[in-house]
Amino acid sequence: MLEGMTFRSLATVSAAALLLVSACSGGDDPKPDPGPSERGAAEVVRYSPLTGLPMDQTPDNPVFVVKIENTPSGAPQTALNDADLVIEELVEGGLTRLAAMYYSTIPKKVGHVRSLRITDIGIAAPVNGVIVATGGANQAISRVQNAGITVFSEDGGSVGFSSDPAKVRPYNRLVDLKAIAAEADVTAPKEPFLPWAEDEEGDDAEPSATPSATSSDPVSSASVRFSRSVTTTWKLTGGHWARTNGHADTEFQADTLIVMFCRVGNAGYRDPAGNPVPSTELEGSGRAVVVDSQGQSVELTWKKPATDSPITFESSDGQPYTLDPGRAFIELVPKGDGSVDLR
């Protein structure tokens, strides 16, 4: 593994053998060591920390975590399908917001952008992510910055923000991620965000799970309940999961749907309407349900020892569980109030 990076490497180097020529009258000087072109070049394959898929080269940008409105007021969600990984999290009033993570593709227009939350620390920190938001409560911004996470926000005077003339504030903010990428320091992800399958030779392997934990019949639809007012519904079509009640102009196509049940605490402040702001605790452990591109579901335990740790999974017998490389959508469901229904 390269120091300071999370990418796996597969290198094949061929070295030319040194031929020593002997003469009857005495030993000649050995031929010089062959140059790089004669030895052959190393072929390096990099893998995305957000998808586990091969990348031709390391992106010249950090991972961007863009906070996106997830109600009809902010529709349509723009460039959501360009994200590598998407997370849905609870906010005040029983509503949800998206954290769309961009690394391999940097769109020129993403939206509609909203404010950050304390929960975003646990999302951005494992991959040295940079949060992009319109702003946030003072308490939330202080917590995020104290965690060492860079924030590009409209309230903070960041470049790249514009107004959608078809919408009204606060649902009309768009951002040019290319403009922000030109200003951002390139911080390499520390490690993979999720545990991607890989065999000993670096090839993708099948996910590991105990037979008792895996569903016997494949499923093709899912309902994920966050609150009395929000349930996200899903349909599996052609090997991809997509929301059936989403707000995107082009829906994000997920290879893996992940539902994680998390404790929800009080962020310690209220929104402008006076509603207490919840904070999903993205650390510790809890129940998880993972459904793959074939509709096979498995009951697992998710683990994340600290906010800056990656997410890992364990099967019922305590064995590590790995995911097929691809795009994932993670639902951070409130423990107790939330639920998932697979059919």
Residues 257 and 320 in one domain: yes
| Across 138-154, average pLDDT | 96
Is 121 part of any domain? yes
Residues 219 and 169 in one domain: no
Residues 221 and 274 in one domain: yes
Contact 338, 261 (CB under 8 A): yes
Average pLDDT over the chain, rounded to an integer:
86
Is 312 part of any domain? yes
Contact 92, 271 (CB under 8 A): yes
**pLDDT at res. 13:** 32
Residues 216 and 333 in one domain: yes
- Res. 90: pLDDT tops 60: yes
Give the DSSP letter of residue 139: H
Q: What is the 3-state secondary structure (H, E, C) of 1-47?
A: CCCCCCCCCCCCCCCCCCCCCEECCEECCCCCCCCHHHHCCCCCCEE
Q: In terms of Cα–Cα distance, which of 8, 55, 48 is closest to 201?
A: 8
* Predicted TM-score (pTM) of this structure: 0.85
Residues 299 and 229 in one domain: yes
Is 225 part of any domain? yes
- Res. 127: pLDDT tops 90: yes
Is 77 part of any domain? yes
pLDDT band at 34 (very low <50, low <70, confident <90, very high): very low
Query: Residue 134 belongs to a domain with what CATH number?
Result: 3.50.90.10
User: Among the listed ranges 38-47, 233-242, 307-316, which one has the minimum average pLDDT value?
Assistant: 38-47
Is 37 part of any domain? no
**pLDDT at res. 46:** 87
Residues 219 and 338 in one domain: yes
If you write DSSP's letter for every residue of 211-227 in order, what string do you get? Answer: GGGB-SS---EEEEE-S
The total domain count for the chain is 2
Residues 232 and 161 in one domain: no
Residues 295 and 336 in one domain: yes
User: Among the listed ranges 3-12, 136-145, 235-244, 270-279, which one has the minimum average pLDDT value?
Assistant: 3-12
pLDDT digits (tens, 9 = 90+) for 94-108: 999 999 999 999 999
HSE of 322 in the Cβ direction (CA atoms, 13 Å)?
Answer: 15
Domain boundary among 166, 183, 200: 183
Residues 162 and 223 in one domain: no
Contact 102, 84 (CB under 8 A): yes
Residues 249 and 149 in one domain: no
Is 231 part of any domain? yes
Domain boundary among 137, 163, 183: 183
Cα separation, 79 vs 100, whole angstroms: 10
Q: Which residues, 6+ apart, have CB-to-CB distance to 269 below 8 Å?
A: 137, 139, 140, 277
Residues 137 and 223 in one domain: no
Is 34 part of any domain? no
Residues 231 and 267 in one domain: yes
* Range(s) of the domain holding residue 129: 64-183
Is 17 part of any domain? no
